Amino acid sequence: MERPASVSTGPYIPPDRSLPEITVKALILGVILAAVLAAANAYLGLKVGMTVSASIPAAVISMGVLRLFRRANILENNIVQTAASAGESLAAGVIFTLPALILLGYWRGFPYLDTLAVAAAGGVLGVLFTIPLRRALIIEGGLRFPEGIATAEVLIAGDEGGRGVRDIAVAAVAGGLVKLAQTGFRVLAGTVDGAVQVGRALFGFGSELGVALLGVGYIVGLRIATLVFAGGLISWLFGIPIYTALHGLPEGAEGYEAALQIWSTKIRYLGVGAMAVGGLWALLSLIRPIRDGVRASWQAVREARQGHQVAIPRTERDTPIHFVLAGTLAMALPLVFVFLHVIDQPHLGASDGTYAATIAFGVLFALVAGFLFSSVAGYMAGLVGSSNNPISGVTIATILTASLLLLVLLGSQIDLQVNAERATAAAATAILIGAVVCCAAAIAGDNMQDLKTGHLVGATPYKQQIMQMVGVLTGALVLAPVLELLFNAYGLGGVFPREGMDPSQMLAAPQASLMQSVAQGVFARSLDWAIIGIGALIAVAIIAADQVLKARGSSFRMPVLAVAVGIYLPLELSVPIFVGGLVSYAAGRALGGRQESSRGLLFASGLITGEALVGILLAIPFALAQSTDVLRLVPDSFAPVAHTLGVLVFLGFVYWLYRVART
């Protein structure tokens, strides 16, 4: 079966054909889905530290609902998923950062206006910052944007009907059942792991058994999947064994749990250093296309003011650049409000101007870093997809840099041991900056995926950008009360709103805990800068190797951020991505050298769809019962059998995907 024309030759809906996009029914459905998915992913993210990409589930739900209307089209479906996925992505930006203020002891809950202002301003900035990046990354950058392609395939298959719909539907049902059996019923293991100790050196290994990451690996292809996996091996095959050989195991931990603890508290910072250098390199490589994009936008504005008719195809019409600049300046106002309202004035030396300098620094740094890291997040989404986009790593780099600059700005007298109140206020400032940047970066990665989908199906970019704003504002309105509800129901990261609550039901908020530890670590002088520096040197070595490959004209290249992502993410996520890349390569060889087939892409998209939908739906009974064990069918003693069954089912899906992809 040949690839659809939308992917291989041009947009599915050509530029000279116009269909209704932002309609009343699409707007209402988009708002509803944005609110629901934002709330569901807030719970999931606080529980396990990861959210579920909502683009494909929203597209599937939208198709089902819009079919009830006599008149509906693919561009309406695309508009709905654009708004809905923005709500989900904003949830990630908020829950990865703002709970750190509670863990820091700075907040006792989630103030509505403050939470709303941070979420809305950061999210809107994420939309605005990606507007000049669209052409640079999607059209000229040569990036894959795997989930953007998958969403487009789902939309096109739903519009055309026939075999493609059956492939997606079968894969989605099967992937959803696997997720239900793993996370809900617990009859299949969701992960497999183990560890071997050789002398003092500990070697750990783990793999997710979920099929969505298998689909992601198939879509990104073998090259990127291999680089992500290689990054994981740097951490787990070298980093952890060397660290344990030198320092031994953590007290009270052994086996894979010890390896995981060392990775999360120490070795993961290799990825932070690598991503910091990789992000700067990516920014340098994007300077020229971003500059050209901004110049072209200004030229179009000038010609329009002079009355010249500029023939811009419908599928290339972005929001005018002067609106982007005006909107960016407008977002500074709510940021000023938040920093003035949240940061404690007496503890930052109001009399000597330190307080005013801190507020000014916080707002300006949030705007500048928001643009820079939105660019990086958009680039990384093009490499590995928005679900695997390490937004928390970008945010850690932001908080780390902001904390160091605040240390210089506020003076060396800031120390958690000497002046705890002043240091805590400074740490809270860094976390607020990180929250704005995290929201912007999360939306930027999601927005680029959606714009890639729109590019393939023939959508109008500025209309998608409007709906991204709608999704952001919807998510911002609902997240504060949802977070307050979850905090009062479960507690977060070891902090409980009242006595007598059950610690076993607590939401761990792992990413927020990491943000808090980084901000406090700077002012307590407890961060391991050696590990961060080694990660940076690894990135420099990868960049040098890639430049050698480029000079030799090699077809194999090594984008540094793909490796840095692998270093930062758990190895459990890298393994199934790598397996999916191997399936893509093997199927391509079986097809005579082509790297993918349309059926394989649709089937992989269905796997992502099914797992994502069920993952979101499971949040409902989990939240109502205040337990993730509410659907469990087997006791803990069933675990060995569940692991065996989980591995066998995963291998079965590997073979199934290969069989489908080679036809």
Q: Indicate if the pLDDT at residue 19 is higher than 80.
A: yes
Alpha-carbon distance of 445 to 438, in angstroms, equals 11
Percent over 70 (pLDDT), the chain: 87
Q: Indicate if the pLDDT at residue 5 is higher than 50.
A: no
Q: Indicate if the pLDDT at residue 507 is higher than 80.
A: no
pLDDT tens sequence across 342-358: 887 776 655 557 788 88
Alpha-carbon distance of 441 to 447, in angstroms, equals 10
pLDDT band at 462 (very low <50, low <70, confident <90, very high): very high
Q: So what's the pLDDT on residue 164?
A: 66
Q: 492 has which bridge partners?
A: 495, 507
pLDDT band at 49 (very low <50, low <70, confident <90, very high): low
Cα 34 from chain centroid (whole Å): 16
Q: Which of 148, 573, 134, 214 is nearest to 386 (CA)?
A: 148
pLDDT tens sequence across 163-192: 666 887 899 899 999 989 998 899 999 889
Q: Average pLDDT for residues 408-427, to the nearest whole number?
A: 71
Q: Which residue has the higher pLDDT, 304 or 85?
A: 85
Alpha-carbon distance of 366 to 438, in angstroms, equals 10
Alpha-carbon distance of 136 to 647, in angstroms, equals 41
pLDDT tens sequence across 283-297: 777 677 667 666 766
Q: Average pLDDT for residues 542-548, to the nearest whole number?
A: 92
Q: Indicate if the pLDDT at residue 498 is higher than 60.
A: yes
Exposed, middle or buried by CB within 10 Å (0-12, 13-18, 19+), for 554? Answer: exposed
Q: Indicate if the pLDDT at residue 8 is higher than 50.
A: no
pLDDT band at 52 (very low <50, low <70, confident <90, very high): low
509 in helix, strand or coil?
coil
Residue 159 makes CB contacts below 8 A (sequence gap 6+) with 12, 73, 74, 77
Q: Indicate if the pLDDT at residue 2 is higher than 50.
A: no
Q: Average pLDDT for residues 205-215, to the nearest whole number?
A: 88
Q: Which of 314, 264, 164 is nearest to 513 (CA)?
A: 264
pLDDT tens sequence across 324-343: 889 999 999 999 988 988 88
Amino acid identity, position 408: V
SS (H, E, C) 537-577: HHHHHHHHHHHHHHHCCCCCCCCHHHHHHHHHCCHHHHHHH
Residue 600 makes CB contacts below 8 A (sequence gap 6+) with 218, 584, 587, 657, 660, 661, 662
Q: Which of 145-154, 446-455, 473-482, 494-503 has the lowest mean pLDDT?
A: 494-503
Q: So what's the pLDDT on residue 425?
A: 84
pLDDT tens sequence across 484-494: 888 887 788 77
pLDDT tens sequence across 138-168: 877 677 787 888 888 888 887 876 666 688 7
Q: Which of 58-62, 262-266, 293-297, 452-456 has the lowest mean pLDDT?
A: 293-297
Instruction: Please tell me the pTM assigned to this model.
Output: 0.77
Q: So what's the pLDDT on residue 6?
A: 40
- Eight-state DSSP code of residue 201: E
Q: Which residue has the higher pLDDT, 86 or 417?
A: 86
- Eight-state DSSP code of residue 597: -
Q: Indicate if the pLDDT at residue 595 is higher than 80.
A: no
Q: Average pLDDT for residues 308-328, to the nearest whole number?
A: 81
Q: Average pLDDT for residues 51-57, to the nearest whole number?
A: 68
Q: Which residue has the higher pLDDT, 160 or 53?
A: 160
- Can you say whether residue 525 is alpha, beta or left, with left for phi > 0 and alpha for psi between -120 and 50 degrees? left
- Annotate 298-310 with b (16+ C-beta within 10 A) or e (fewer): eebeeeeeeeeee
For 160, the enclosing helix (H) or strand (E) is: helix 146-160
